[in-house]
Amino acid sequence: MFHKEGFKIITIAFLICAVLSVSAHFLIENIYIEKGIIFVLFVLLVLILQFFRNPDRKFQLNPCKILSPVDGKVVVIEEVYEKEYFKDKRLQVSVFMSPLNVHVTRYPIGGKVVYSKYHPGKFLVAWHPKSSEENERTTVVVNSQEFGDVLHRQIAGAVAKRIVNYAKEGQEVKQASDSGFIKFGSRVDIFLPLGTQINVALNQKVKGGITVLAKK
């Protein structure tokens, strides 16, 4: 299964690979070069297909748990001052995604979207300390009965050049449903109330909508 954000790119990539493969067959006399070109095109197409995959998962929804919004590796767990929305201290958990990870962004908690904003910016590497404040990003806050306001922020990186955000202020959303998509790698920051029990460790691999990041 592939995510809808990849349909156009997959179609274009398939057509380009098909045209180049046919052209190589008719224009290149050396069979080894021809086969080499076709093999490279096939690998590129497979990489694009796996990037936009959207595997079917059985989510175990729980309003008393914060689920990881994306696949990747936990790179930050710390108390920080969040200055865009809360303007006070929060617990930040950040998940870094490589181009090989599933890139669907899911709501870590269900509730009402009370804030959704896009910020243009730079494309620093996703693990750069200032990427959370200076890179292109979107900030979404969902109000839940159990945790209050929970913020998750999609952050573009050096490779990621497009962030898709579906969240609209005022809408009710379900935990683990699609919140957006980041094309070609990056990270997501989650900001939680102080005192929230963190359920993951640094460098731990997590799965979007499956791994419990925190709980009451």
pLDDT digits (tens, 9 = 90+) for 44-68: 888 788 777 878 888 989 999 999 9
Q: How do the domains of the chain map onto residue ranges?
A: 4-51, 65-215
Chain segment 21-41, per-residue pLDDT in tens: 888 888 888 888 888 888 999
Other C-beta atoms closer than 10 Å to the C-beta of 134 total 15
Question: pLDDT value at position 200?
Answer: 97
Give the integer Cα–Cα distance in Å for 14 and 45.
Answer: 7
HSE at residue 22, side-chain half, CA atoms within 13 A, is: 5
209 — pLDDT class (breaks 50, 70, 90): very high
Q: Catalytic: 186? A: yes
Q: How many helices (H) and strands (E) does the chain have?
A: 3, 14
Average pLDDT for 104-108: 94
What is the CATH code for 65-215?
Answer: 2.70.70
Q: Report how far residue 126's alpha carbon sits from residue 140's, in angstroms, rounded to the nearest whole number.
A: 18
Catalytic residue, candidates 94, 131, 179, 186: 186
- What angle is formed at CA 66 by the lines to CA 61 and CA 69, rounded to 5 degrees? 90
Residue 132 has a pLDDT of 63
Q: What is the pLDDT of residues 3-19, one digit of tens each?
A: 677 688 889 988 998 89
